[in-house]
Amino acid sequence: MCFQLKPDIKHEEGISLSFHLSRILPHIVVIWDKPYFYAIGKSNNSMSLRDFGLEWESILEQIAAEGIKDFSDRTWQFQEVPLTKTVSANVISLLAYQVLKTSKPYPFSSITALSKNGVQVRREAKFWAEPIEIYGTLQPAITLTMKSKFLLTKTLAEFYLNHPEKDNLEKLLIDLNVRSISGDIQGNGTITQLIKEPSLIHKQKLIEKATNEISKKALQDELSDKFLVAVKFGKGKKLYEYGMTALRPCVTSETASRFGVNWGELLKQTKILYKERTKLLVIYKEEAENALNNYGFELGLSINSRHYPELFWQSQVPIEDTPLLFGNGVISAQSKILTGLSRGGVYRRYYKFSDPSRPIRITVLNLCEVGFDNFLQKLKERLKSYKFESLFVSKSISLKNLSDTQARAKVEEVVNELMEIKPEIVLAFLPQSDRNADEEEGGSLYHKIYDLLLSRQIASQMIYEDTLKNPDYYKNILNQVVPGILAKLGNLPFVLAEPLEIADCFIGLDISRESKTKLSGTMNACASMRLYGKQGEFIRYLLKDTLIQGEEIPKQFLEGLLPKKEFEGKIVLIYRDGRFCGQEVANLLEWAEAIGCKLILVECRKSGIPRLYNFVNKTIAAPEKGLALRISSTEAVLVTTDVTEKMGLAYPLRLTVITGNHPALISPPIEQVVETTLKLTLLHYGALKMPRLPMPVYGAHKMAKLRLRGIYPSSMLEGDCQFWL
């Protein structure tokens, strides 16, 4: 059945209310698809859907009785809507998803891969609604995959009572990740506040609002008289107060040692081998089918290339054979980048190095107790093979017997002294212990040096001491470090040999946010842009860290990306990292029409994406780089990386082309967008391995994150050197 509520309900309310209806009503699930609710019941449903409207008021009273504050004081008029046409594929997919999400008992098995000291690594099903277009018609479907998660079998109360530092409440509990035992709220949360000695009245109000017995009992025990914890889940600002026995701590890299387990060992157990994946998917599909059959659903074949070959795409030319253009007109395949650099040199030298005899001034700052002369000799030889001379000045300092604060002060002093030499890039060798120092309040030497140099518009390259200890690593490190050094100095090692036909230039947009750790709930925000040419050549970047509300990039910043003089008459493909928000699309199109250019707008998302597999000898295998699945005429899933089995399974990208009737908007075939995106992953100069993201998007997030931390080129919110590589 279908129904609507009056007055009109907001999006967030509709999603939340449908979940609670599905949770409390026996044998009925409800979803919200603006502006209507849809309900489906089991064939043996004790409560007829026809009685749904008659019992509406009592249903709302039941929700209110369970303490759902958002709906306890609301009244809506129930109105059934006749189903005069076929229910959409999206609605059917959402109903199937809701069945799997709210069924009791939960339909999927939980497999324990490791159990040690009360810490478990578990395999769990992951699923969501995913309609797919087949033969031009959208069909209902769900995505079914799996994930590994850590679980501590102890409650937060047990963890606290048995911890040697239990007298230091704030240090032990604030910022600790936790999960609700009852599952009243899904996902991990963070303890942000402690409510010490809560009043009886305050506790009674919480008990009345509690939606389950676990939460109620936790608010009534002796420990809850001493204090409660306030937890924030996800990105929301709302805090939920719990008694400690209603929560479990989450195991993270920072907390693993507190629970007597090795973080590396846990991570190793999270990797699911392909044979195990095959078995689990068979099990999960059977369990899903059993739950869905109760509501009249049937699961068909999994989407595969044997039955649906038209849905799958691969480049006609293997991506590693894509021709790249180097200096002096030399063309070499992507798989032979080093050969191309040795034969032709870089595609374009930065103006400072237009004279090949002009050396790169490199200052070496050695902060570890390891020799580096052999490495520097190899580095000098490699630069020369790429037709660059180099001039080295070295400085070694010992950090032994210095505290972290003293070490940072010493490093700042030495870096300031090095500025008299006026280097163009500083090569810093760092102690291995500095890798994880950003978790500490003072931060790492890495970012201390990065900040000091970048504020002076000087590039840097950091290398950890383990690299120097093993000469066998030299060749591999040099293969990646040297092109990155050249690119940071403004050179372009290579570009695509064949221009991309889809557009004249490419832009990547991103907003990055970072919580201010000392001020709860406040955020810094920075918008970033990078511009690339028709052959994927980097042109410039732009940063703006004005006050940004929500996730929407301001109109003024968007207009500043497209100067009329530069973009008039051109076709511009804009990648948005994530979804376009608010009025971004409308503002971009309005400006494009005003200056006389055309836009292709593409969302590039990194999460909530169906996994793709190869299937070899009846066993799942890793997907090939460049494999794509066509979700619809405007959306596709694309694998851009090779991942070894011990590292897990490749995460694809989801590409969505914005469509509409606006005169400034172009919507090319999704296959063309896929191929373009894949080729734009080939232009990362800081590593020979292709990044997951196309380059217009790849660096934007890191660039903005550095800006948020106060690390940016002084007076250089716009520039033409890729300092973030």
Render pLDDT for 216-271 as a digit per residue (tens, 0 to 9).
888 888 888 888 988 888 766 788 888 888 898 888 777 777 778 888 888 889 99
pLDDT in tens, 288-319: 999 999 999 999 989 999 999 999 999 888 99
Cα atoms found within 13 Å of the Cα of residue 357, Cβ hemisphere only: 0
Model pLDDT, residue 477: 83
Contacts of the segment 86-92: beta carbons below 8 A, 24+ positions apart: 87/2, 87/38, 88/33, 88/138, 89/131, 89/138, 89/139, 89/140, 89/141, 90/33, 90/129, 90/131, 90/138, 90/140, 91/31, 91/33, 91/38, 92/140, 92/297
H helices of 78-161, where? 89-102, 156-161
pLDDT category, 528, cuts 50, 70, 90? confident
Looking at this protein, which amino acid is placed at residue 112? T
Q: pLDDT > 70: what percent of the chain? A: 90
H helices of 210-357, where? 213-218, 222-226, 263-270, 274-293, 337-344
pLDDT exceeds 50 at position 439: no
pLDDT category, 125, cuts 50, 70, 90? very high
Model pLDDT, residue 47: 56
Model pLDDT, residue 299: 92
Question: 485, 451 in Cβ contact below 8 A?
Answer: no
Q: Which of 349, 351, 350, 326 is nearest to 339 (CA)?
A: 326
Q: What does DSSP assign to residue 460?
A: E
Strands 598-605 and 653-657: antiparallel
Instruction: Show the tokens assigned to 535.
Output: 């052959």
Model pLDDT, residue 659: 96
pLDDT exceeds 50 at position 551: yes
Distance CA 166, CA 333 (A): 60
Rounded to whole angstroms, what are the CA distances from 525 to 549, 656, 667? 8, 25, 30
Model pLDDT, residue 436: 61
Give the mean model confidence (pLDDT) for residues 203-220.
84
Give the mean model confidence (pLDDT) for residues 135-159.
90
Strand-pairing partners, residue 542, are: 529, 718
Instruction: Show the tokens assigned to 67.
Output: 């303490």
Give the mean model confidence (pLDDT) for residues 446-452.
83
pLDDT exceeds 70 at position 157: yes
Q: Which residue has the higher pLDDT, 279 or 257?
A: 279
Distance CA 174, CA 213 (A): 25
Comparing 21-30, 433-442, 534-543, 549-558, the range with the smallest average pLDDT is 433-442
Model pLDDT, residue 707: 62
Distance CA 171, CA 187 (A): 23
Model pLDDT, residue 548: 58
pLDDT exceeds 90 at position 185: no
Instruction: Show the tokens assigned to 218.
Output: 């936790």
Cα atoms found within 13 Å of the Cα of residue 373, Cβ hemisphere only: 0
| 266 phi and psi angles, rounded to 5 deg | -60, -45
Question: 26, 53 in Cβ contact below 8 A?
Answer: no
Say what the pTM is: 0.85
Instruction: Show the tokens assigned to 110.
Output: 């939980």
Give the mean model confidence (pLDDT) for residues 10-22.
88
Q: What is the mean pLDDT of the chain?
A: 86
- Burial of residue 248, with CB atoms counted within 10 A of its CB: 0-12 exposed, 13-18 middle, 19 or more buried: buried
pLDDT exceeds 60 at position 363: yes
Model pLDDT, residue 704: 58
Query: What count of other Cβ atoms lies within 10 Å of the Cβ of residue 634?
Result: 19
pLDDT in tens, 637-665: 999 988 888 878 889 999 999 999 999 99
Give the mean model confidence (pLDDT) for residues 195-211.
85
